[in-house]
Amino acid sequence: MPKQKEARLNRTSWVLAIVIVVLFSQSPLSALESEKDKGPQASSVEDSQAKIPLTFKLWRERQIAEAKNHVVRRSNRLQLAANGGLGLSSEDFNFDKEERSLNEAIEALQHAEERSDRDYFEIYLEVYLSQFKGKPESLELLMQSISAQEGAEILGALLKRRGPGPSSSLGAALKGLPSIQ
């Protein structure tokens, strides 16, 4: 075996060993197991039949699980290529590019795990729940699946975004009405 290929294989094996230790020391399946326990509400936007948005907790767990899965897929692909399992010659497979991709996936996972609940909540509201903007039946189903406290947190966060007082378009409509403060 050429020394360069052997060195690359050793480096790849070392990186994979670290990835496996990091991933499995933090129980990567816990998010998937908790999703399984949730039953029918564990549906997602991607499912064509799904109309129930994920709860914040389940959505957050899924984000981290997907980041972990991405690392595993990248490291598996790299390991397969290093062992010749992809059916590609070493000239056809760009190890440096794949290693960069794996490192980016590891970095994304670290960011996902370090992100605060507040940051995740902001992303949940801005990105995830905004997909259901024109689907009141989906939002109603979400409200039925969460606690009153969780609903109040979502509503409070949305009201904070609007800022104090009525919007300019609403201001004209309210003209002449008594104040209810």
Does 174 map to a domain? no
pLDDT digits (tens, 9 = 90+) for 24-77: 444 433 434 444 444 444 444 444 444 789 999 999 999 999 999 999 999 998
Rounded to whole angstroms, the Cα distance separating 17 from 153 reads 41
Rounded to whole angstroms, the Cα distance separating 102 from 131 reads 30
Does 127 map to a domain? yes
Does 51 map to a domain? yes
> What is the span of the domain harbouring residue 65?
3-145
Query: How far apart, in Å, are the Cα atoms of 149 and each of 86, 104, 145, 154, 170?
Result: 50, 37, 12, 9, 28
Does 79 map to a domain? yes
Does 154 map to a domain? no
Does 45 map to a domain? yes
Domain count, the chain: 1
What's the token pair of residue 24? 């499995």
Does 159 map to a domain? no
Rounded to whole angstroms, the Cα distance separating 5 from 12 reads 10
Query: How far apart, in Å, are the Cα atoms of 138 and each of 34, 106, 130?
Result: 22, 34, 11
DSSP secondary-structure letter at 126? I
Using pLDDT thresholds of 50, 70 and 90, give the confidence band for residue 10: low
Model confidence, pTM: 0.62
Does 116 map to a domain? yes
Query: How far apart, in Å, are the Cα atoms of 128 and each of 86, 121, 122?
Result: 36, 10, 10
